[in-house]
Amino acid sequence: DAKTTQPTSMDCAEGRAANLPCNHSTISGNEYVYWYRQIHSQGPQYIIHGLKNNETNEMASLIITEDRKSSTLILPHATLRDTAVYYCILQGGATNKLIFGTGTLLAVQP
């Protein structure tokens, strides 16, 4: 079973910031928080990851709480092309396999 919980769906207006939350209260010390997204049955696309510090790249920002029990993915200026299912996944520890939950369906509205 996935060790993360995410809202099933969210809406966001085009051009606004999209903030996607993720809870991972049982995260282990050596597990990273990874975010992927899947646009309409395409292959999952890597977005960003972090261990304990906040991270930013050209796609998004990742905010991880100090206790590491939750995180937020921020898409600063959402576009229609950002409509996708977003997955928050813990990676590391004893296994390499990714365990996908149900993710959050982000619908960007015009």
Partner 1 sequence: NAGVMQNPRHLVRRRGQEARLRCSPMKGHSHVYWYRQLPEEGLKFMVYLQKENIIDESGMPKERFSAEFPKEGPSILRIQQVVRGDSAAYFCASSPPGPSTDTQYFGPGTRLTVL
**Calpha distance 69→17 (Å, rounded):** 22
| Shortest Cβ 11–partner 1 spacing (Å) | 21
CB-nearer residue toward partner 1: 34 or 60 = 34
**Which residue in 36, 12, 11 sits closest to 22, CA to CA?**
36
Residue 93 φ/ψ, nearest 5 degrees? 70, -140
76 part of the interface to partner 1, by CB under 8 A: no
Measured over the CA atoms of residue 10, residue 15, residue 17 and residue 20, the dihedral's sign is positive
Out of 13, 39, 80, 98, which residue is the one contacting partner 1 (CB under 8 A)? 98
Out of 23, 102, 105, 107, which residue is the one contacting partner 1 (CB under 8 A)? 102
| Shortest Cβ 32–partner 1 spacing (Å) | 5
Q: What six digits make up the tokens of 102?
A: 């149900």
Considering only residues 13 to 72 of the shown chain, the ones binding partner 1 according to CB under 8 A are 30, 32, 34, 36, 38, 41-46, 49
Measured over the CA atoms of residue 109, residue 82, residue 70 and residue 62, the dihedral's sign is negative
* Binding site residues, partner 1, CB under 8 A: 30, 32, 34, 36, 38, 41-46, 49, 91-103
